[in-house]
Structures are given as C-alpha cells and as structure tokens.
Amino acid sequence: MREQLRELQEKALARIQAAGLLEELNELKLQYTGKKGELTQILRNMGGLSAEERPVMGQLANEVRDKLEEAFANMAEKLQEQAYQIQLKRETLDITLPGRQRPLGSRHPLYQAMDEIEEIFISMGFGVEEGYEVETDYYNFEAMNLPKNHPARDMQDTFYISEDILLRTHTSPTQTRVMEKMCPRLPVKVIIPGKVYRRDDDATHSPMFHQVEGLVIDEHIRFSDLKGILLSFIKRFFGEDQEIRLRPSYFPFTEPSAEVDCRCVICGGKGCRTCKGTGWLEILGSGMVHPNVLRMGGYDPAKVSGFAFGMGVERLAMLKYGVDDLRLFFENDVRFLRQF
Ligand code: DAH
C-alpha cells in the first residue's frame, strides 16, 4: 500500500505539473482526490492491514492528500494568473494611437452674419418673426401699397406660382402679417429675417437671397428714431467709427423714404472701385411706414406711426468679410467656407 500511495503521488504530481488548463486541473483533482478518486480507492483496502500498520498508512495517506491538494492549489493559482495575463494582453489599448479625425462643419458665413444682425437687434429690444417664403400677391404687393398695375411692381422680377401665389420678392409682406397678429397692441418692434426670391442671376444677384426686415410701430415714432436705431446697428456691425448717410428715395410702402449708406468698408471713405469713388456704400432701404400700410395692418395712422427698413444679408456679409462675388456663398466650396 505504501508503494501504491507513493506511485499515486508521483503520477498525480507529474500530471498536475503538466496541466495547461484550469478545466484539466479540475478533472485531475476529481480523478485523484475526489470522493470516488484513486486515493479513496486505495484506502478502501485499509481493512486488510494490521492494527499497527493502519494508523501509519492513514497518516501517510493524509500526507499524500495534503501534498496533492497543495500542488493543486499552487497550479490553480499559476493557471489563473496565466489566463489573467492573456486577457490583459488581449484587452490592452494603445492610448498613444492618434484618434480618427472627423471633419467638422461650421456655420455658413451668411448665417453667421444673420445671427450677428439678429443679436444686435435683439439687444435693442426687438423680437424676431418669420413669415412665409411662398406668399400671396396680396401680402407681397397690395398690402405693401403696390396695387395691381402700380409701376413699382416692375422693380421686382417675380417668380409666380399661380396668378395669386408667388415666391416673396422681399421680407416686407411679413410686416402686414405681424401687424395683423399684433393689432391693437403696441409697440410693434420686430425684425424679420428670411429668404427672398427674384429672377436675377449674376455676380451681384442671386435668384435666392436673404433679407432682414425691421418694423417699429408705436405712438410718437419719429424719423430720428429710425436714424438712431440704424446708426447704432451699423456701428455694432461694422465698427464704432462708422457713419451713416441718408439719401431721399422712394418706396411705395414708406413715406418719406430713405436709402442708407455707410462709409465704404473697403477704402474707409477715400474712394475706390467698390464704392465707385464716392466713399459711401448703399446698404439698406428704409422710411416711415406709409399710412396705407398701417391701415391695412389694422392700425390707425392718426394715432400711431412707425418706421421700417430692409437690408440684404449677402451684401452686408460681402462688405464685412471682403467677398467680391456673391456666387461664392452658394457654391459650397469648402475652401471658401473654411475661411470663416
Ligand atoms: N423691401 C425693399 C426691397 O426689397 C427693402 C425695403 C425698403 C424694406 C424700405 C423696407 C423699407 O421696410 O422701409 O428692396
């Protein structure tokens, strides 16, 4: 029996050392020291031993069991550690690898200009309204004091959808929509940014472009209020040293009307090609809201007065960013757009 135990111990230890996987080790454990394992098998024959030999063999068997169990435990730890190292290696990240760069877009320069215009007017207490790009003849022309057959309708080459429905040629029709919504509340103090459409296409005209309309109505609104607001705006948009000049003009929806110029932002007023030598640039149209327009919006021109203005966003953006061809804004060439 002594021999049997020694043999079992040797064989088991050798196989434990050779085990490469935890599962394999567990099987060996069952095979040698399990309830039905080989060690138990040998001890079954204890009955055939003498009374003196029995405790000696018992002790020897316990020693063998202890040795094997220790070997199992050591090997299990080793295999566990090995498995852990393999997993670590598999999950290792190289945090020094450069990341994948995704190209990032940015706001279109026209909308940057528009945002800035809005911000300036909002800071002066204006609300922002949006109208419809598809308008009726009534709002686009009639309510703007341009009755059918009015010669001023020739100023605008219109995209008609039907006889009565068209793409708005300016943001002015939204003036009347805002008045109808607000009336009789005062004051009305809004800007109206948006797209407008005209049948025009060259270096300085696009069939679709952007305007920002302004409308202020209250009791005692005067022409000087218009001038003050526009001067503040121009200084904020182009710089504190800017000046404006008002020239008499004509729009059917205002009376009196004025075109507003600012100092040429290219030459500073000395005279250049952009300002055609005058030192001034025309930047917007404006005037006191015509009594007919107030009336069609629901307000009584005997009690309230107002001013309005309309500016082209493309033109303002071209002057501010020094862009000399309007079409660059719409070609979406990223080499152009990346510069803003
Ligand atoms: N609607 C005009 C245009 O598109 C611009 C304009 C001029 C708007 C005078 C106004 C204004 O509100 O008072 O050319």
C-beta 312 within 6 A of ligand 1: no
Q: How far is residue 265 from each of residues 76, 145, 146, 321, measured CA to CA in Å?
A: 82, 34, 34, 10
Q: Is the residue at 122 inside a domain? A: yes
The residue out of 31, 58, 90 marking a domain boundary is 90
pLDDT score at 36: 87
CA distance 79 to 197: 77
Q: What is the 240 CA–ligand 1 centroid distance (Å)?
A: 25
C-beta 308 within 6 A of ligand 1: yes
Q: What is the 189 CA–ligand 1 centroid distance (Å)?
A: 16
Q: Is the residue at 259 inside a domain? A: yes
C-beta 285 within 6 A of ligand 1: yes
**Does the pLDDT at position 152 exceed 80?**
no
pLDDT score at 57: 85
Q: How many domains does the chain have?
A: 2
C-beta 176 within 6 A of ligand 1: no
pLDDT score at 304: 98
**What is the tens place of the pLDDT at every residue in 86-134?**
999 999 888 898 989 898 889 999 999 999 999 999 999 999 999 999 9
> What does residue 289 show for φ and ψ, rounded to 5 degrees?
-55, 125
Atom 7 (ligand 1): residue with closest C-alpha? 285
Q: How far is residue 162 from each of residues 138, 140, 165, measured CA to CA in Å?
A: 13, 14, 5
Which whole number is the average pLDDT over 138-167? 87
**Does the pLDDT at position 278 exceed 70?**
yes
Which whole number is the average pLDDT over 4-28? 89
- Indicate whether 279 and 195 sit together in one domain: yes
pLDDT score at 144: 97
Given a contact cutoff of 8 angstroms between Cβ atoms, the answer to whether 25 and 16 are in contact is yes
Query: Number of H helices and number of E strands within the chain?
Result: 12, 9
For 186, the token pair is 């005062």
More confident residue, 322 or 115: 115
- The parent domain of residue 115 ranges over 109-337
- Indicate whether 81 and 134 sit together in one domain: no
**Does the pLDDT at position 151 exceed 80?**
no
- Indicate whether 201 and 301 sit together in one domain: yes
Contacts 24+ apart (CB under 8 A), 80-89: 80/22, 83/22
Q: What amino acid occupies position 7? A: E
Question: What percentage of the chain has pLDDT greater than the value 90?
Answer: 64
The answer to which of 54-68, 122-136, 308-322 has the lowest mean pLDDT is: 54-68
- Indicate whether 166 and 309 sit together in one domain: yes
pLDDT score at 149: 84
C-beta 140 within 6 A of ligand 1: no
**Does the pLDDT at position 49 exceed 80?**
yes
- Indicate whether 189 and 230 sit together in one domain: yes
- Indicate whether 264 and 298 sit together in one domain: yes
pLDDT score at 155: 57
Domain of 328: which CATH number?
A: 3.30.930.10
Q: What is the 190 CA–ligand 1 centroid distance (Å)?
A: 14
Q: Is the residue at 33 inside a domain? A: yes
Which whole number is the average pLDDT over 324-339? 91
- Nearest-atom number in ligand 1 for the CA of 213 is 12
For 204, the token pair is 């300085």
**Does the pLDDT at position 302 exceed 90?**
yes
Atom 4 (ligand 1): residue with closest C-alpha? 170
**What is the tens place of the pLDDT at every residue in 205-261?**
899 999 999 999 999 999 999 999 999 999 999 999 999 999 999 999 999 999 999
More confident residue, 181 or 59: 181
For 196, the token pair is 């407008």
Of the CA atoms within 13 Å of residue 60, those in its CB half-sphere come to: 17
- Nearest-atom number in ligand 1 for the CA of 175 is 12
The answer to which of 35-49, 201-215, 269-283 has the lowest mean pLDDT is: 35-49
Q: Is the residue at 102 inside a domain? A: no
For 289, the token pair is 């809201």
pLDDT score at 154: 66
Q: Is the residue at 57 inside a domain? A: yes
Given a contact cutoff of 8 angstroms between Cβ atoms, the answer to whether 314 and 110 are in contact is yes
C-beta 252 within 6 A of ligand 1: no
